[in-house]
Amino acid sequence: MDILTKIVSDKRIEVNLRKQLIPIKQLEHSILFERETISLAKRLKESTTGIIAEHKRRSPSKQVINHDLNVFDVAKGYENAGACGMSVLTDGKYFGGSLDDLLTARASCNLPLLRKEFIIDSYQIIEAKAYGADVILLIAAILSKVEIKQFSELAKQLDLEVLLEVHNEEELHKSIMPSLDLLGVNNRNLKTFEVSLETSKELSQHIPSDFIKVSESGISSIDAIKTLQPYGYKGFLIGENFMKTNNVGKSAAQFINDLEQ
Protein backbone atom coordinates (compact mmCIF):
# COMPACT_ATOMS: atom_id res chain seq x y z
CA MET A 1 0.00 0.00 0.00
CA ASP A 2 1.53 3.35 -0.99
CA ILE A 3 1.85 6.13 1.58
CA LEU A 4 -0.99 8.23 0.14
CA THR A 5 -3.50 5.37 0.38
CA LYS A 6 -2.41 4.77 3.96
CA ILE A 7 -2.71 8.44 4.94
CA VAL A 8 -6.22 8.64 3.44
CA SER A 9 -7.41 5.51 5.22
CA ASP A 10 -6.14 6.86 8.57
CA LYS A 11 -7.67 10.25 7.77
CA ARG A 12 -11.17 8.75 7.34
CA ILE A 13 -10.98 7.26 10.84
CA GLU A 14 -9.69 10.54 12.28
CA VAL A 15 -12.37 12.70 10.63
CA ASN A 16 -15.19 10.43 11.75
CA LEU A 17 -13.92 10.72 15.30
CA ARG A 18 -13.65 14.51 15.12
CA LYS A 19 -17.18 14.82 13.76
CA GLN A 20 -18.42 13.10 16.90
CA LEU A 21 -16.37 15.38 19.16
CA ILE A 22 -17.16 18.72 17.53
CA PRO A 23 -20.42 18.96 15.57
CA ILE A 24 -20.65 21.24 12.52
CA LYS A 25 -23.00 23.62 14.36
CA GLN A 26 -20.28 24.24 16.94
CA LEU A 27 -17.72 24.98 14.22
CA GLU A 28 -20.10 27.43 12.56
CA HIS A 29 -20.41 29.35 15.83
CA SER A 30 -16.68 29.86 16.25
CA ILE A 31 -15.40 33.46 16.30
CA LEU A 32 -13.28 33.04 13.17
CA PHE A 33 -16.13 31.63 11.10
CA GLU A 34 -17.40 35.13 10.29
CA ARG A 35 -14.05 36.75 9.52
CA GLU A 36 -13.38 38.13 6.08
CA THR A 37 -10.87 35.96 4.24
CA ILE A 38 -7.70 37.23 2.57
CA SER A 39 -7.10 36.33 -1.07
CA LEU A 40 -3.94 34.37 -1.78
CA ALA A 41 -4.68 34.41 -5.52
CA LYS A 42 -4.70 38.22 -5.52
CA ARG A 43 -1.45 38.45 -3.54
CA LEU A 44 0.31 36.03 -5.91
CA LYS A 45 -1.00 37.86 -8.97
CA GLU A 46 0.47 41.14 -7.71
CA SER A 47 3.78 39.67 -6.52
CA THR A 48 7.07 39.28 -8.38
CA THR A 49 8.30 36.55 -6.02
CA GLY A 50 5.18 34.51 -5.17
CA ILE A 51 6.52 32.65 -2.15
CA ILE A 52 4.06 30.57 -0.13
CA ALA A 53 6.10 29.59 2.91
CA GLU A 54 5.23 26.47 4.83
CA HIS A 55 5.17 25.39 8.45
CA LYS A 56 6.03 21.70 8.52
CA ARG A 57 7.60 19.80 11.43
CA ARG A 58 8.19 16.50 9.68
CA SER A 59 7.14 14.45 6.67
CA PRO A 60 6.95 10.78 5.68
CA SER A 61 9.88 11.26 3.29
CA LYS A 62 12.17 13.34 5.53
CA GLN A 63 11.03 12.33 9.03
CA VAL A 64 11.92 15.16 11.43
CA ILE A 65 12.57 18.52 9.78
CA ASN A 66 12.30 20.78 12.80
CA HIS A 67 10.51 20.27 16.11
CA ASP A 68 12.04 23.26 17.89
CA LEU A 69 10.24 26.15 16.21
CA ASN A 70 6.97 27.56 17.45
CA VAL A 71 4.31 28.52 14.97
CA PHE A 72 3.96 32.05 16.32
CA ASP A 73 7.59 32.90 15.49
CA VAL A 74 7.43 31.12 12.14
CA ALA A 75 4.27 33.00 11.03
CA LYS A 76 5.65 36.36 12.17
CA GLY A 77 8.96 35.59 10.49
CA TYR A 78 7.33 34.68 7.18
CA GLU A 79 5.16 37.79 7.22
CA ASN A 80 8.13 40.08 7.96
CA ALA A 81 10.13 38.32 5.24
CA GLY A 82 7.55 39.32 2.64
CA ALA A 83 5.99 35.93 1.87
CA CYS A 84 2.70 36.08 -0.09
CA GLY A 85 1.06 33.45 2.04
CA MET A 86 1.66 30.70 4.56
CA SER A 87 0.86 27.02 4.32
CA VAL A 88 0.12 25.26 7.60
CA LEU A 89 0.17 21.47 7.78
CA THR A 90 -2.59 20.28 10.08
CA ASP A 91 -2.09 16.52 9.76
CA GLY A 92 -0.83 15.10 13.04
CA LYS A 93 0.13 11.50 12.42
CA TYR A 94 2.39 11.96 9.38
CA PHE A 95 3.41 15.62 9.53
CA GLY A 96 3.28 16.53 13.23
CA GLY A 97 0.82 19.36 12.64
CA SER A 98 -2.52 20.29 14.19
CA LEU A 99 -5.47 22.65 13.86
CA ASP A 100 -4.00 24.55 16.81
CA ASP A 101 -1.08 25.43 14.54
CA LEU A 102 -3.57 27.06 12.18
CA LEU A 103 -5.16 29.02 15.04
CA THR A 104 -1.77 30.20 16.28
CA ALA A 105 -0.69 31.26 12.79
CA ARG A 106 -3.96 33.15 12.36
CA ALA A 107 -3.44 34.98 15.64
CA SER A 108 0.12 35.96 14.79
CA CYS A 109 0.01 37.21 11.18
CA ASN A 110 -2.14 38.74 8.45
CA LEU A 111 -0.96 36.46 5.67
CA PRO A 112 -3.44 34.39 3.65
CA LEU A 113 -3.32 30.94 5.29
CA LEU A 114 -3.57 27.68 3.41
CA ARG A 115 -4.79 24.70 5.39
CA LYS A 116 -2.53 21.93 4.05
CA GLU A 117 -4.46 18.77 4.72
CA PHE A 118 -5.72 15.58 3.12
CA ILE A 119 -9.32 16.67 2.61
CA ILE A 120 -11.70 13.78 2.06
CA ASP A 121 -14.85 15.12 3.75
CA SER A 122 -16.75 18.41 3.59
CA TYR A 123 -16.49 18.58 7.40
CA GLN A 124 -12.78 19.46 7.03
CA ILE A 125 -13.63 22.47 4.86
CA ILE A 126 -16.00 23.88 7.49
CA GLU A 127 -13.27 23.16 10.04
CA ALA A 128 -10.72 25.07 7.93
CA LYS A 129 -12.98 28.14 7.93
CA ALA A 130 -13.60 27.86 11.69
CA TYR A 131 -9.88 27.72 12.44
CA GLY A 132 -8.94 30.75 10.37
CA ALA A 133 -7.87 29.41 6.96
CA ASP A 134 -8.27 31.47 3.77
CA VAL A 135 -7.44 28.70 1.31
CA ILE A 136 -7.94 24.93 1.29
CA LEU A 137 -5.94 22.30 -0.53
CA LEU A 138 -7.67 19.63 -2.58
CA ILE A 139 -5.53 16.75 -3.85
CA ALA A 140 -6.75 15.36 -7.19
CA ALA A 141 -4.99 12.02 -6.59
CA ILE A 142 -7.31 11.16 -3.70
CA LEU A 143 -10.60 12.66 -4.94
CA SER A 144 -13.10 11.91 -7.69
CA LYS A 145 -14.25 14.63 -10.08
CA VAL A 146 -17.59 14.75 -8.24
CA GLU A 147 -15.84 15.26 -4.88
CA ILE A 148 -13.59 17.99 -6.29
CA LYS A 149 -16.69 19.81 -7.58
CA GLN A 150 -18.65 19.35 -4.35
CA PHE A 151 -15.75 20.38 -2.06
CA SER A 152 -14.63 23.36 -4.16
CA GLU A 153 -18.18 24.70 -4.43
CA LEU A 154 -18.63 24.42 -0.67
CA ALA A 155 -15.35 26.30 -0.18
CA LYS A 156 -16.61 29.08 -2.46
CA GLN A 157 -19.82 29.38 -0.41
CA LEU A 158 -17.64 29.84 2.68
CA ASP A 159 -15.53 32.46 0.88
CA LEU A 160 -12.46 30.19 0.91
CA GLU A 161 -10.13 29.92 -2.07
CA VAL A 162 -9.22 26.52 -3.49
CA LEU A 163 -5.77 25.30 -4.43
CA LEU A 164 -6.11 22.07 -6.36
CA GLU A 165 -3.01 19.90 -6.52
CA VAL A 166 -2.21 17.63 -9.46
CA HIS A 167 0.68 15.31 -10.34
CA ASN A 168 -0.05 14.45 -13.96
CA GLU A 169 -2.11 15.32 -17.03
CA GLU A 170 -4.86 12.84 -16.26
CA GLU A 171 -5.49 14.40 -12.82
CA LEU A 172 -5.42 17.86 -14.36
CA HIS A 173 -8.02 17.07 -17.02
CA LYS A 174 -10.50 15.57 -14.57
CA SER A 175 -10.12 18.54 -12.22
CA ILE A 176 -10.40 21.74 -14.21
CA MET A 177 -13.58 23.57 -13.20
CA PRO A 178 -14.62 27.17 -12.47
CA SER A 179 -14.83 26.69 -8.69
CA LEU A 180 -11.01 26.50 -8.39
CA ASP A 181 -8.73 29.50 -7.91
CA LEU A 182 -5.22 28.10 -7.94
CA LEU A 183 -3.78 25.06 -9.68
CA GLY A 184 -0.81 23.50 -7.97
CA VAL A 185 1.56 21.09 -9.66
CA ASN A 186 3.32 18.82 -7.19
CA ASN A 187 6.77 17.94 -8.49
CA ARG A 188 7.00 15.05 -6.06
CA ASN A 189 5.77 11.66 -7.15
CA LEU A 190 3.70 10.64 -4.13
CA LYS A 191 4.29 6.97 -4.81
CA THR A 192 8.09 7.09 -5.12
CA PHE A 193 8.77 10.49 -3.45
CA GLU A 194 11.12 11.41 -6.31
CA VAL A 195 11.10 15.09 -7.27
CA SER A 196 11.39 16.61 -10.75
CA LEU A 197 10.70 20.17 -11.91
CA GLU A 198 9.95 18.74 -15.36
CA THR A 199 6.46 17.92 -14.02
CA SER A 200 5.70 21.63 -13.59
CA LYS A 201 7.15 22.46 -17.00
CA GLU A 202 5.20 19.76 -18.83
CA LEU A 203 1.85 20.48 -17.17
CA SER A 204 2.06 24.28 -17.46
CA GLN A 205 0.83 24.28 -21.08
CA HIS A 206 -2.32 22.37 -20.10
CA ILE A 207 -3.40 24.79 -17.36
CA PRO A 208 -5.84 27.47 -18.58
CA SER A 209 -4.60 31.01 -17.93
CA ASP A 210 -7.56 31.93 -15.71
CA PHE A 211 -6.03 29.89 -12.87
CA ILE A 212 -3.04 31.00 -10.82
CA LYS A 213 -0.29 28.43 -11.33
CA VAL A 214 1.58 27.21 -8.27
CA SER A 215 4.58 24.88 -8.28
CA GLU A 216 5.06 22.68 -5.20
CA SER A 217 7.83 20.44 -3.84
CA GLY A 218 11.50 20.37 -4.58
CA ILE A 219 11.85 24.13 -4.89
CA SER A 220 14.91 24.96 -2.87
CA SER A 221 16.81 27.43 -5.05
CA ILE A 222 16.36 30.79 -6.73
CA ASP A 223 17.30 29.05 -9.98
CA ALA A 224 14.35 26.65 -9.72
CA ILE A 225 11.95 29.60 -9.45
CA LYS A 226 13.60 31.56 -12.26
CA THR A 227 13.34 28.42 -14.42
CA LEU A 228 9.61 28.06 -13.75
CA GLN A 229 8.51 31.71 -13.98
CA PRO A 230 8.61 31.76 -17.82
CA TYR A 231 6.17 28.81 -17.74
CA GLY A 232 3.59 31.08 -16.12
CA TYR A 233 4.02 30.07 -12.47
CA LYS A 234 3.10 32.82 -10.01
CA GLY A 235 3.26 30.83 -6.77
CA PHE A 236 6.01 28.68 -5.26
CA LEU A 237 5.40 26.56 -2.19
CA ILE A 238 8.52 26.23 -0.07
CA GLY A 239 8.63 24.29 3.17
CA GLU A 240 11.68 22.28 4.07
CA ASN A 241 14.11 24.88 2.76
CA PHE A 242 13.14 27.39 5.47
CA MET A 243 12.00 24.97 8.16
CA LYS A 244 15.33 23.18 8.40
CA THR A 245 17.09 26.39 9.49
CA ASN A 246 17.27 27.84 13.03
CA ASN A 247 15.80 31.16 11.99
CA VAL A 248 12.97 30.56 9.57
CA GLY A 249 12.05 34.23 9.11
CA LYS A 250 15.64 35.20 8.43
CA SER A 251 16.21 32.46 5.86
CA ALA A 252 12.90 33.31 4.12
CA ALA A 253 13.81 37.01 4.05
CA GLN A 254 17.23 36.27 2.58
CA PHE A 255 15.70 33.99 -0.07
CA ILE A 256 13.01 36.50 -1.09
CA ASN A 257 15.56 39.30 -1.13
CA ASP A 258 17.89 37.31 -3.40
CA LEU A 259 14.98 36.42 -5.66
CA GLU A 260 14.13 40.10 -6.12
CA GLN A 261 17.66 40.95 -7.27
Residues with a catalytic annotation lie at 54, 56, 116, 165, 186, 216-217
| Count of CB atoms situated within 10 Å of the CB of 110 | 9
Q: How far apart are CA 43 and CA 40, in angstroms?
A: 5
Question: Could you give the angle at which helices 99-108 and 71-81 cross, rounded to 10 degrees?
Answer: 50
Q: Where are the alpha helices (DSSP H) in 82-210?
A: 99-108, 122-130, 145-157, 169-175, 198-204
Tell me if 165 sits within 8 A of 140, measured CB to CB: yes
Strand partners, 162: 136
Q: How far apart are CA 129 and CA 166, in angstroms?
A: 23
